[in-house]
């Protein structure tokens, strides 16, 4: 949700900033802008509606010189996406330029105060108010930029990651964060700023993850200085990035989404690496072993997440209840955080998040912590806010996910949940030994089974071409594959803009069946499991109403295949592992429907990858 990037060093800033914006574009892409301080001390701001490419075109022929600068790619919150509302924003005197990711909640009150002081505003944004507040306190209290930012932050309520530069002051870049992510890269005689490591990794692996409520002073030729909002000095902790540049490039694929779909055998391998013992057929999860008493005494497991991560969480409920006999309640984070939920100190909260920055999930986690619950996180991004705020947890190690529609993050989240359920179940004695070993053995085979499904991509592409006419899709599944139906529907609507609904197959009779006619495609997730006969009946019910059925079935299927218009086979596996396999054809189906319709699958309209506002 908005990407910010900054540079201060001895190179020209513009190309570095533009490259950084391209890498951060997944966070928002409705407008973009850059501010540069040139050698004469002039502060030039260029910004425009649309993607980073538009900004590059817009800047042609303009003075883009300067060795210090900041840049922004936006996902609009306050004010429509247009040139004026794009960041950076100048202050009244045009001496300051600010980029911001987040929301200033009290901006209206602050704006009124500033208008009374004679300030005028060009945009509808909260960010312009923010920069004016900084200028106001700077003048009023005669402060330098660092002092002014520190002071101004005591006035604003909300979330932010900011970068700010000042005319005639080419040696200073100030940044701060509360709620939204911020990383500083330390190179040789140069510094970088980024919402994540992707704009930085090409230049340096040495980074500082800026903590919440911290302000950073980056000064040419000096060490980075950090203080918190209580005015305490923080010793910067330099970490080494493990990220590789190739991980954030398309690697020959037309889209990041397709690359990430095809990466799943590898990402699952990384997720299981060192955790699944091939020889002993055992699961070894440090976070679980170290905290097994918490799980043993747990009254309940609460799972909270948003979007695709919530769908993974739904599968977690089936897993923990089946294998650990611990009651699980799961809720989307935006509801959980405001519902005044009952949370006990012997509850375990599992927040699940790819980015580790989702505002609602973070807030839900804070709420659970205040109530004494133990927090066990499942996150992809190492060092993210959620990862840092948990008591313990397991990283998914999917590698960077850049396509806005989540794919490999989902299957690795499910893999972590499976490993957790098996590890806890074994410790608690709630899973039968034989079953445990059978599932572990099968888990090891899952990456190669995914490869077999990926080989069917051309077949799935052909099926998808038949259905691009559709205005609505219905996805049905039961048991472990009900969340898969929800996820399949979400994938399709996110990137193709076709309305799609996921439903528990039997529940279809209570409403969606009214929609079925000969036009309506119905995707049925029907691998051969315990409830197979029941889902066969559901498929018959659809067929009787002339619906067009695309079925995901187990290799060698007979019953569903007789009735379905199209079948995509997946290899047989343990029931609890089927979601990993059945979700793959659904990812491919949505990808191909969207690309055949000419949609931008990596940057679908109105969406952003990392939702750092509630
Ligand atoms: C956004 C993304 C989704 C993601 C959701 C939760 O909506 O577009 O792909 O599932 O946020 O994000 P998280 O990073 O917390 O998993």
Residue 242 has pLDDT above 90, yes or no: no
Residue 497 has pLDDT above 90, yes or no: yes
List the CATH number of the domain containing 259.
3.40.50.10490
Q: Are residues 8 and 79 in the same domain?
A: yes
Atom number in ligand 1 closest to CA 405 = 9
Q: Are residues 140 and 236 in the same domain?
A: yes
- CB 301 within 8 Å of CB 348: yes
Task: Report how far ligand 1's centroid is from the alpha carbon of 612 (Å).
Answer: 10
> How do strand 566-570 and strand 548-554 relate by DSSP bridges?
parallel
DSSP states along 118-163: T---SSS-HHHHHHHHHHHHHHHTT--HHHHHHHHTTT--EEEEEE
Q: Are residues 355 and 387 in the same domain?
A: yes
Summary mean pLDDT of the chain: 94
Confidence label for 515 from pLDDT (cuts 50, 70 and 90): confident
d(CA 495, CA 485): 16
pLDDT at position 273 is 96
Residue 613 has pLDDT above 80, yes or no: no
Atom number in ligand 1 closest to CA 409 = 16
∠ CA 523-528-534, rounded to 5°:
70
pLDDT at position 85 is 92
Atom number in ligand 1 closest to CA 406 = 9
pLDDT at position 26 is 86
Confidence label for 251 from pLDDT (cuts 50, 70 and 90): confident
d(CA 554, CA 294): 38
Q: Are residues 554 and 576 in the same domain?
A: yes
Q: Are residues 211 and 323 in the same domain?
A: no
Q: Are residues 365 and 287 in the same domain?
A: yes
Atom number in ligand 1 closest to CA 305 = 15
Going across the sheet that includes 158-166, the strands are 89-90, 96-104, 158-166, 169-178, 214-219, 225-228, 233-234
Q: Which range, of 30-44, 204-218, 336-350, 521-535, averages the lowest pLDDT?
A: 521-535
| Percentage of the chain modeled with pLDDT above 70 | 100
611 inside domain: no
Taking the C-alpha atoms of 206, 208, 209 and 210 in order, what is their torsion angle to the nearest 10 degrees? -160
Helix (H) or strand (E) segment spanning residue 436: helix 433-454
- Using a 6 Å cutoff on CB, does residue 308 contact ligand 1? yes
d(CA 383, CA 212): 12
pLDDT at position 611 is 79
List the CATH number of the domain containing 157.
3.60.20.10
d(CA 35, CA 50): 17
pLDDT at position 72 is 97
Instruction: Identify the domain boundary among 452, 487, 502.
Output: 452
pLDDT at position 27 is 87
- CB 201 within 8 Å of CB 187: no
Residue 79 has pLDDT above 90, yes or no: no
Structure tokens at 136: 């106001």
- CB 504 within 8 Å of CB 466: no
Mean pLDDT across 136-162: 96
- Using a 6 Å cutoff on CB, does residue 309 contact ligand 1? yes
Q: Ligand 1: which of 195, 308, 356 to mutate, most ligand atoms within 8 Å of CB?
A: 308
| Percentage of the chain modeled with pLDDT above 90 | 84
Residue 2 known to be catalytic: yes
317 inside domain: yes
| pLDDT tens string 448-465 | 999 999 999 999 999 999
Q: Is 104 helix (H, G, I), strand (E, B) or coil?
A: strand
605 inside domain: no
Residue 471 known to be catalytic: no
To the nearest 10 degrees (0 to 180), the angle between helices 307-324 and 408-428 is 20
Q: Are residues 443 and 466 in the same domain?
A: no
- CB 7 within 8 Å of CB 61: no
- CB 70 within 8 Å of CB 199: no
Q: Are residues 21 and 131 in the same domain?
A: yes
422 inside domain: yes
613 inside domain: no
- Using a 6 Å cutoff on CB, does residue 607 contact ligand 1? yes
Atom number in ligand 1 closest to CA 307 = 10
| pLDDT tens string 164-177 | 999 999 999 999 99
Name the burial class of residue 292, with classes exposed (0-12), middle (13-18) and buried (19+) by CB atoms within 10 angstroms of its CB: middle
Q: Are residues 269 and 396 in the same domain?
A: yes
Task: Report how far ligand 1's centroid is from the alpha carbon of 331 (Å).
Answer: 15
DSSP states along 301-363: EEEEE-HHHHHHHHHHHHHHHHHH---EEEEEHHHHTTS-----TTEEEEEEESSS--HHHHH
Atom number in ligand 1 closest to CA 355 = 14
417 inside domain: yes
d(CA 260, CA 466): 24
98 inside domain: yes
146 inside domain: yes
Q: Ligand 1: which of 354, 363, 495 to mutate, most ligand atoms within 8 Å of CB?
A: 354
Confidence label for 80 from pLDDT (cuts 50, 70 and 90): confident
Instruction: Identify the domain boundary among 402, 431, 452.
Output: 452
- Using a 6 Å cutoff on CB, does residue 413 contact ligand 1? no
Mean pLDDT across 525-547: 88
Tell the residue number behind the tokens 């570095």, with chain if given.
16
Q: Ligand 1: which of 29, 385, 393, 406 to mutate, most ligand atoms within 8 Å of CB?
A: 406
Active site residue: 49, 408, 493, 609, which one?
609
Tell the residue number behind the tokens 């948003």, with chain if given.
306
Q: Are residues 76 and 16 in the same domain?
A: yes
Task: Report how far ligand 1's centroid is from the alpha carbon of 439 (Å).
Answer: 29
Instruction: Identify the domain boundary among 424, 452, 480.
Output: 452
Please tell me the total count of domains within the chain.
3
Task: Report how far ligand 1's centroid is from the alpha carbon of 306 (Å).
Answer: 6
Instruction: Identify the residue with better confidence: 327 or 242.
Output: 327
Residue 328 has pLDDT above 80, yes or no: yes
Q: Are residues 424 and 461 in the same domain?
A: no
DSSP states along 17-82: HHHHHHHHGGG--SEEEEEEE-TTS-EEEEEEES-HHHHHHHHTTS----SEEEEEEE--SSS-SS
Strand-pair partners of 363: none
Q: Are residues 222 and 262 in the same domain?
A: no
Instruction: Identify the residue with better confidence: 607 or 201.
Output: 201
Domain that holds residue 441: 250-452
Instruction: Identify the residue with better confidence: 445 or 536.
Output: 445
Active site residue: 2, 271, 379, 567, which one?
2
- CB 354 within 8 Å of CB 401: yes
Residue 406 has pLDDT above 90, yes or no: yes
- Which residues does 5 contact at the CB level (< 8 Å), separation at least 6? 17, 20, 21, 24, 70, 71, 72, 163, 192, 193, 194, 195, 199
- Using a 6 Å cutoff on CB, does residue 353 contact ligand 1? yes
Q: Ligand 1: which of 351, 390, 609, 612 to mutate, most ligand atoms within 8 Å of CB?
A: 609
């Amino acid at each position: 949700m908005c990407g910010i990037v900054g540079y201060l060093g001895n190179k020209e800033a513009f190309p570095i900033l533009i490259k950084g914006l391209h890498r951060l574009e997944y966070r928002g892409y409705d407008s973009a802008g850059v501010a540069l301080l040139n050698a004469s001390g002039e502060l030039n701001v260029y910004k425009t509606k649309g993607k980073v490419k538009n900004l590059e075109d817009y800047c042609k022929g303009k003075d883009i010189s300067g060795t210090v600068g900041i840049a922004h790619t936006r996902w609009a919150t306050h004010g429509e996406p247009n040139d004026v509302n794009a960041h950076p924003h100048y202050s009244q005197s045009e001496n300051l330029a600010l980029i911001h990711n987040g929301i200033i909640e009290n901006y209206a009150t602050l704006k009124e105060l500033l208008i009374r002081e004679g300030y005028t505003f060009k945009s509808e944004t909260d960010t312009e108010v923010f920069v004016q507040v900084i200028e106001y306190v700077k003048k009023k209290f005669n402060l330098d930029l660092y002092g002014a930012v520190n002071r101004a932050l005591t006035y604003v309520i909300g979330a932010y990651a900011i970068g700010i530069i000042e005319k005639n002051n080419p040696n200073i870049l100030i940044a701060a964060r509360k709620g939204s992510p911020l990383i500083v890269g330390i190179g040789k005689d140069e510094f970088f700023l980024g919402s994540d490591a992707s704009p930085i990794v090409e230049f340096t692996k040495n980074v500082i993850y800026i903590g919440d409520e911290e302000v950073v002073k980056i000064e040419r030729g000096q060490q980075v200085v950090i203080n918190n909002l209580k005015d305490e000095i923080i010793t910067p902790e330099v970490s080494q990035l493990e990220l590789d540049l190739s991980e954030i490039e398309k690697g020959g694929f037309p889209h990041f989404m397709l690359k990430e779909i095809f990466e799943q055998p590898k990402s699952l391998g990384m997720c299981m690496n060192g955790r699944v013992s091939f020889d002993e057929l055992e699961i070894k999860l440090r976070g679980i072993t170290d905290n097994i008493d918490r799980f043993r005494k747990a009254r309940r497991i609460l799972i909270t997440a948003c979007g695709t991560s919530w769908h993974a969480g739904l599968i977690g409920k089936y897993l923990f209840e089946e294998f650990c006999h611990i009651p699980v309640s799961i809720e989307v984070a935006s509801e959980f955080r405001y519902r005044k939920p009952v949370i006990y100190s012997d509850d375990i909260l599992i927040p699940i998040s790819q980015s580790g920055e989702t505002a609602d999930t973070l807030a839900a986690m804070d709420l659970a912590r205040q109530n004494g619950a133990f927090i066990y996180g499942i996150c992809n991004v190492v060092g993210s806010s959620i990862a840092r705020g948990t008591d313990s947890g397991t990283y998914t190690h999917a590698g960077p996910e850049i396509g806005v529609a989540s794919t490999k993050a989902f299957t690795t989240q499910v893999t972590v949940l499976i490993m957790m359920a098996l590890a806890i179940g074994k410790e608690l004695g709630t899973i039968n030994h034989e079953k445990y070993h059978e599932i572990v053995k099968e888990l090891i085979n899952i990456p190669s089974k995914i490869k077999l499904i990926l080989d069917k991509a051309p077949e799935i592409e052909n099926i998808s071409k038949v259905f691009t006419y559709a205005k609505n899709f219905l996805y049905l599944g039961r048991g472990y594959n009900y969340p898969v139906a929800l996820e399949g529907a979400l994938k399709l609507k996110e990137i193709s803009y076709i309305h799609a609904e996921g439903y528990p197959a039997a529940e279809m009779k209570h409403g969606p069946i009214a929609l079925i006619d000969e036009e309506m495609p119905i995707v049925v997730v029907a691998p051969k499991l315990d409830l197979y006969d029941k889902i066969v009946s559901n498929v018959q019910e659809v067929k009787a109403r002339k619906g067009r059925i695309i079925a995901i079935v187990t290799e060698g299927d007979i019953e569903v295949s007789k009735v379905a218009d199209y079948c995509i086979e997946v290899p047989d596996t343990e029931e609890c592992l089927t979601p990993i396999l059945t979700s793959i054809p659904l990812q491919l189906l949505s990808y191909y429907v969207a690309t055949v319709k000419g949609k931008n699958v990596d940057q679908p309209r109105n969406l952003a990858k990392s939702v750092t506002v509630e």
